[in-house]
Structure formats: C-alpha cells, structure tokens
C-alpha cells in the first residue's frame, strides 16, 4: 500500500502520525520527506493539458476485470 500526502511542514501534528498508524498498522513503513516546488501553471493551462490527455486516450478501453489498485501498487514498489 502507498499513500502520498502533500502538506506544509507546519501541518504535521500528532493526529497526522496517528492517521498513518491507523492506515498501516504495525507494518514496516518507509517515510520520505522532500520539499516541493510549486507548479507555475494557470488553471486554464492545466485544463487544456487534461483535455489533451483525455483526447489522446479517448478510445482506450480498460478490461472491467482488471484491478487498477493492484496495478498501481505494483508500479509504486
């Protein structure tokens, strides 16, 4: 299982740590902390980019029997 959280360092609280504990139980976990540079893209540019991707993959069909969550977990190992 993998989760990504984007938040400000000042938002780290004991409640956040408790949330992570509840999600992962007693499993061994890896914590990676990196600074994130803000994306300088307007809402309009973002919209255009998303619409271009939708157009590019408009004819793509996904087998309903495929477990996309499992595929994502395998990719994020």
- Could you tell me which of 4, 24, 2 has the C-alpha nearest to residue 77? 2
**Which pLDDT value is given to residue 30?**
94
Count of alpha carbons within 13 Å of 43, Cβ hemisphere only? 0
pLDDT values of the chain reduced to their tens digit, one per residue, 77 residues: 888 888 889 989 999 999 999 999 999 999 999 998 887 889 999 999 999 999 999 999 888 898 888 888 777 65
**Which pLDDT value is given to residue 41?**
86
**Which pLDDT value is given to residue 76?**
60
**Which pLDDT value is given to residue 50?**
94
């Amino acid at each position: 299982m993998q989760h990504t959280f984007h938040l400000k360092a000042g938002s780290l609280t004991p409640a956040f740590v408790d949330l992570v504990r509840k999600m992962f139980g007693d499993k061994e976990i890896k914590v990676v902390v990196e600074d994130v540079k803000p994306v300088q893209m307007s809402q309009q540019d973002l919209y255009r980019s998303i619409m271009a991707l939708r157009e590019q993959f408009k004819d793509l069909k996904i087998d309903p029997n495929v477990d996309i969550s499992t595929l994502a977990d395998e990719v994020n190992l």
